Structure 1
Amino acid sequence: MAIEQVKEFFKKFNMEEKIMEFDTSSATVELAAQALNVIPARIAKTLSFKKDNSCILVLTSGDVKINNPKFKAEFGMRAKMPSAEEVLSFTGHAAGGVCPFAVTDGIPVYLDISLKRFDTVFPACGSGNSAIELTCDDLFRYSGAEKWVDVCKEAE
């Protein structure tokens, strides 16, 4: 199970105990915000986009949407999401629990600047009922992100 891989990943940093698991689903931004009792914007949603025979991951704030012209300018491709089966195959995580930790080697991770509005954010941890609270600096470090990008529409 992917959450076990994420726990193993965080053991290297003595952080596995910080992973939270819920009795209810946290597979959507709204459900995660309810489970954590935070505003949806603080949920760091991990979006997958097809690139050739694989994908890239972009983490955004829970209250924003991808801006297609900005995305194409940044990545040189259309923002096309893979199927749920492809997401699992590409990343090793099922839809609803996709996160930037313990992903398949070679999957690039990017963080959108929409997350920087907050001191801490909550990405998933490999299952549809998990999360971890991280600072943006820690999220950058633990995710192995390539860089910060600006590919979203402003929050409404």
Structure 2
Amino acid sequence: MSVEKVREYFKKMGIENKVMEFEVSSATVELAARALNCEGSRIAKTLSFMVGGNAILIVTAGDAKIDNSKYKAEFAAKAKMLSPDEVINLTGHEVGGVCPFAVNDGVKIYLDESLRRFDTVFPACGSANSAIELTIEELEKYAPYDRWVNVCKGWN
């Protein structure tokens, strides 16, 4: 199970006990916000795309949407989301549990500027009923991200 893969990943850093698992689904921003009793904007959703034949992940705030022109300017490609089968095969996580932790080799991770306005955010942990609360500094420390990007709209 992917959540166990993430726990094992976090074990090396001593934070595996921070992973929360719920009796209810947290597969969407709305469900995660309900499970965590927080604003949906603080859910750090991880979106998966194909760029130049490679999978990439972009972690954004729950209320942010991809801005196609910003995305194209950043990645020199049209935003093409992965299919559910591609998501699991290329990232190692299923839709609803995709996160920037313990991903398959070769997947680049980007953090979107929409996250910076929060003290803490809640990314998933590999399953459709898990999350972890992290400060932005902790997210930067624990997610093997490439760089910060500004590819979203609707949040500022």
The TM-score bracket by the shorter chain reads: over 0.9
Partner residue of 2:71? 71
What amino acid is aligned across from residue 47 of structure 1 in structure 2? L
Give yes or no for contact 2:51–2:75 (8 Å, CA) kept in 1.
no
Question: How many residue pairs were aligned?
Answer: 156
Summarize the alignment of residues 25-104 of structure 1 with structure 2, pairs less than 5 Å apart.
25-104=25-104
Give yes or no for contact 2:49–2:55 (8 Å, CA) kept in 1.
yes
Q: C-alpha displacement at 1:71, in angstroms?
A: 0.4
Q: C-alpha displacement at 1:99, in angstroms?
A: 0.4
Partner residue of 1:15? 15
Deviations 1:7-62 (A, max 9, x none): 00000111000000000000000000000000000000000001233310000000
Moved more, 2-11 or 140-149: 140-149
User: Where does the alignment leave 5 or more consecutive residues of structure 1 unmatched?
Assistant: none
Deviations 1:99-148 (A, max 9, x none): 01000011000000100010000000000000000011111121111111
What amino acid is aligned across from residue 105 of structure 1 in structure 2? D
User: Where does the alignment leave 5 or more consecutive residues of structure 2 unmatched?
Assistant: none
TM-score when normalising by structure 1: 0.97
* CA–CA distance in structure 1, aligned partners of residues 3 and 53 of structure 2: 24
Q: Over the residues paired in the alignment, what is the CA RMSD in angstroms?
A: 0.9
Q: Is 1:117 the counterpart of 2:124 in the alignment? A: no
| SS state at 2:152 partner | coil
Q: Runs of 4 or more off by more than 4 Å in structure 1? A: none
* CA–CA distance in structure 2, aligned partners of residues 78 and 114 of structure 1: 20
Give yes or no for contact 2:27–2:97 (8 Å, CA) kept in 1.
yes
TM-score when normalising by structure 2: 0.97
Partner residue of 1:105? 105
| SS state at 1:85 partner | helix
